[in-house]
Amino acid sequence: MSDSHGIGVDTRYIDAYRRSLADPAGFWGEQAQALQWTRRWDRVLDDSAAPLYRWFSGGRLNTCYNALDRHVENGRAEQTALIYDSPLTGAVEHFTYRALRDAVALFAGALAANGVRHGDRVVIYMPVVPQTLIAMLACARIGAVHSVVFGGFAAMELAKRIDDAKPRVVVSASCGIEPGRVVLYKPLLDEALQIAQHKLERCIVLQRPQVRAALQAGRDLDWNEAVAAAQPAACADTAATDPLYILYTSGTTGKPKGVVRDHGGHAVALQFSMRAVYDIHPGEVFWAMSDVGWAVGHSYMVYAPLLIGATSVMYEGKPVGTPDAAAFWRVIAQHRVKALFTAPTAFRAIKKDDPRGELIAGHDLSSLKTLFLAGERCDPDTIAWAQDKLQVPVVDHWWQTETGWPVAANCRGLQPMPIKPGSATVPVPGYDVQVLDEVGAPVPAGTIGNIVIKLPMPPGTLPTLWHNDAGYISTYLTRYPGYYLTGDAGYIDDDAYVWVMSRIDDIINVAGHRLSTGAMEEVLAGHADVAECAVIGVADALKGQLPVGLVVLKAGVQRPHAEIVQELVLRVREQIGAVAAFKQATIVARLPKTRSGKVLRATMRAIADGRSYNAPATIDDPNILPEISQALEKLGLTKPT
């Protein structure tokens, strides 16, 4: 990266980026000084077991202390730390740093009273409520390792995670709440505990007012009763390299992969990212619209805002339907949110229900300075729509569960850069992002290849998988020795901007031409009637693969579907070329997605190719798959076997 890459006269980003790669120990050692340590590290970067790297080895600190107690002691005791906003229950609660610290200390005492010690695991199976955050920080406080499982996950999937983590205690709730329905958690937990081979002695259950769960005598404790009997616990002295949490992500073998996050590197990276990427400072309001069970919830609802001394918004609701497509605007105005971080699918849903943005009227959004999008690539049309309606920069940035914080972004706190819709902008300091071909050679600027990160990756990224160093190495580090394989495909342009186009599996080969389905989706999404879309590559005897588009229309579109499809085919031919061989598209009511909003392209490919498939455990609504099958069958594609 050179000064000629469109950065301009402001060199704060380029200076930080260069130093982070040339002198990572010096750079990250300086960032670590923003936290309070009980023992200074021996080595900032420990490469003695490379390619398994460790950060701040020998150092000791407590993540919960740095997120709560430190602010209470340094003048922020009465500042709001957490705002809980639940349109599903009508509740809005504010927690000061002092109140949150006290609640966490008490629940940490309850965990300790029930046998949880330093290094023990605690599985947290909870909805988006303050007690979930309290349980996570309570584990961090006493040095236990938490593993949050998305509330409402199927019993079999929960059992797999229990067997892998082997927790001392499971913390759960009687129910979760979705628009129009209550999801009973306790029966799912009971079933999971019957399936699991690992047996535990204690569950602590939060009884929500909507449903009271039956508790099993001798095993289950009521949350409030457990807290009432507890004494506040002090912060344990944990090693920087101790595991803070395990976050499971689906593996290709059916066995979930337990991504590990450590105490030291995690805290250093997240507090750095709040300033550098999100431009958030102590006392400002940050809203990460996510479930706590996802990486976004861990990093940017729970830990990062509190580590920096900001105010975090926890929202139990949806972008539409709670009650309407103005839900986001109400929250931003009511709580004076400075930055919102959500998934592109949320804004596509808002755009679909309110294409002209009429529901924004009447809401004072003057506090909002930036909208951040991540989770999957955002089409430029949605970015343009959001920028036009909100009149703020819309930053599409890229990261993964494994990295824990952004890999590429427009670093608003270092040096705001021109936005190129469709690009995640530039690598964040600490990440040496490169694009390689199939044999590991660098590709020219603008050429699609496999996106990798040169080792060592920065602090805060996964040091390994839970009890599976070999699996970590084989999954991420073997294909290109010396590099971490992201699993994403894309390119870096002449200005050093990173363009993440799709997963590696979504690069299709049409008659020998490697084409990005993401590029075709970008073209389809630019059509005036399209709310969202997906393009998949289906098997073809002649050309190897052919692209097929699945398109969801905006609300109120009444035109004939055949006419719209014809226009879409023509758009791809005009903007990408005949080489794309894009000739088939179908209109569908909705796309199959995970609960975090990622479109299930691999599942749709399997349906189209007539291959057997299992609906992912994270699917939002399994009932949609037969609809997709019928739509593809009408195109002459094979029904699933």
Q: Is residue 29 part of a domain?
A: no
Q: Is residue 395 part of a domain?
A: no
Q: Is residue 363 part of a domain?
A: no
Judge whether 564 and 597 are in contact, CB under 8 Å.
Answer: no
Residue 538 CA to residue 608 CA, distance in Å, equals 6
Could you tell me the pLDDT band of residue 575, with boundaries at 50, 70 and 90?
Answer: confident
Find the range with the poorest average confidence among 3-7, 66-70, 247-251, 256-260. Answer: 3-7
What pLDDT, on a 0 to 100 scale, did the predictor assign at position 340? Answer: 98
Q: Is residue 305 part of a domain?
A: no
Q: Is residue 625 part of a domain?
A: yes
Residue 622 CA to residue 619 CA, distance in Å, equals 6
What pLDDT, on a 0 to 100 scale, did the predictor assign at position 577? Answer: 75
Q: Is residue 600 part of a domain?
A: yes
The H or E element that residue 55 is part of is strand 52-57
Could you tell me the pLDDT band of residue 250, with boundaries at 50, 70 and 90?
Answer: low
Pick the more confident residue, 503 or 445: 445
Average pLDDT, the chain: 93
Q: Of 28, 70, 39, 55, which is closest to residue 306 (Cα–Cα)?
A: 70
What pLDDT, on a 0 to 100 scale, did the predictor assign at position 460? Answer: 98
Find the range with the poorest average confidence among 120-134, 148-162, 217-231. Answer: 148-162
Residue 482 CA to residue 462 CA, distance in Å, equals 16
What pLDDT, on a 0 to 100 scale, did the predictor assign at position 468? Answer: 95
Residue range 136-164: mean pLDDT, rounded:
92
Q: Per-residue pLDDT tens for 460-475?
A: 999 999 999 999 999 9
What pLDDT, on a 0 to 100 scale, did the predictor assign at position 513? Answer: 66
Q: How many domains does the chain have?
A: 1
Q: What is the CATH number of the domain that holds 565?
A: 3.30.300.30
Could you tell me the pLDDT band of residue 511, with boundaries at 50, 70 and 90?
Answer: low
Could you tell me the pLDDT band of residue 639, with boundaries at 50, 70 and 90?
Answer: very low
What pLDDT, on a 0 to 100 scale, did the predictor assign at position 452? Answer: 98
Residue 10 CA to residue 22 CA, distance in Å, equals 20
Handedness of CA 568, 574, 575, 576 (dihedral sign): positive
What pLDDT, on a 0 to 100 scale, did the predictor assign at position 249? Answer: 84
Provide the residue range defining the domain that includes 529. 511-634
- Half-sphere CA count of 85, side-chain side, radius 13 A: 25
5: pLDDT strictly greater than 70:
no
What pLDDT, on a 0 to 100 scale, did the predictor assign at position 2? Answer: 39
Q: In the block, which residue shows the tokens 């494994």?
A: 402
Residue 74 CA to residue 70 CA, distance in Å, equals 6
Written as six digits, the tokens of 51 are 């390619």
Q: Per-residue pLDDT tens for 62-99?
A: 999 999 999 999 999 999 999 999 999 999 999 999 99
46: pLDDT strictly greater than 70:
yes
239: pLDDT strictly greater than 90:
yes
301-330 as b/e: b if 16+ CB within 10 A: bbbbbbbbbbbbbbbbbbbbbbeebbbbbb
Residue range 401-415: mean pLDDT, rounded:
97
The pair phi, psi for residue 96, each rounded to 5°, is -75, 170
pTM for the model stands at: 0.86
Q: Is residue 121 part of a domain?
A: no
Residue 615 CA to residue 627 CA, distance in Å, equals 14
Q: Is residue 125 part of a domain?
A: no
Could you tell me the pLDDT band of residue 591, with boundaries at 50, 70 and 90?
Answer: very high
3-state SS, 321-368, equals CCCCCCHHHHHHHHHCCCEEEECHHHHHHHHHHCCCCHHHCCCCCCCC
- How distant is the alpha carbon of residue 53 from its chain centre? 23
Q: Of 197, 208, 146, which is closest to residue 171 (Cα–Cα)?
A: 146
